[in-house]
Amino acid sequence: MTTLEPAVFSVRPGTLPLLISMPHVGTHIPADILATMTDVARHVDDCDWHLERLYAFAARRGASLLVPSHARYVVDLNRPPDNANLYPGQDTTGLLPVDTFDKAPLYHPGGEPTEAEVARRVAWYWQPYHDALARTLAELKARHGAVLLWEAHSIRSHVPRFFDGRLPDFNFGTAGGASAAPGIGEALAECVNRHGGYTAVANGRFKGGYITRHYGEPDRGIHAVQLELSQITYMQETRPYAYDEALAGRVEPLLDTLIDVALDRLARI
């Protein structure tokens, strides 16, 4: 009997000029790919855990949501299709990661993806997500005149491979100001810092990945902001990566306010 594979992504349409993209929340790895991988891959440790649950309030408000089903270990939807390094000179994982954030190998020796396999996964998994992303942005822009693309991400608070010490709680990226109207990233970080209890930075270690940089065109009315949220703010950062209702209950209203701040900025442009 053939096991049915899940759809590559789901789109949940909304009424606001807001699309929330969550490119790293998927956990599924097809059996044929998993057969080439080490046991560590099964844990999908580098997933952006529970963001659908954390951002459920935004869907209720009328945000559109774009959610993939497959893990970033299959293909990283937030990397360019040519696998260019978005942070030259810094260590990063690639379009088809070959190791985890902790540098544990994802493939058995000799099992790393070939060029043909890279091309296949881009065509089967990467391209459909990006087609849906571009289409949804175009529809929202046509309806509202301008649109906010909110790139929702999360990461462990300590990942020595990528940064020293503990990461700030809220890390906003606007490609150094190029992907959104001037000052949006800084206004969001200021809002967090005024709120108290959390730390925030704009265009620090995380300036925005491929999606933010590629789709953010403020001169055309598409404003892209990436939020890399430290997972310590809403969940258990070690296996089994449990959602923490109490922590999440405190951070959710702030996320709601931050979206208001960004949408208000767009309305006044």
Q: What is the 3-state secondary structure (H, E, C) of 28-62?
A: ECCHHHHCCECHHHHHCCCCCCCHHHHCHHHHHHC
- Determine the pLDDT at residue 212: 98
Bridge partners of 149? 19, 224
What is the domain partition of the chain in residue ranges?
9-267
- Determine the pLDDT at residue 269: 81
Phi, psi of 38, rounded to the nearest 5 degrees: -75, 170
Give all strands (DSSP E) within the chain, no chain letters: 9-12, 18-21, 64-68, 147-155, 170-173, 200-202, 222-230
Q: Note the pTM of the prediction, 2 decimals.
A: 0.96
Phi, psi of 265, rounded to the nearest 5 degrees: -60, -45
Class of the CATH-defined domain 9-267: alpha beta
Both structure tokens of 171:
């890390």
- Determine the pLDDT at residue 196: 87
- Determine the pLDDT at residue 3: 53
pLDDT tens by residue, 5-45: 889 999 999 999 999 999 999 999 999 999 999 999 999 99
CA-only gyration radius of the chain, Å: 18
- Determine the pLDDT at residue 4: 67
- Determine the pLDDT at residue 1: 32
Task: List the chain residues with pLDDT less than 50.
Answer: 1-2
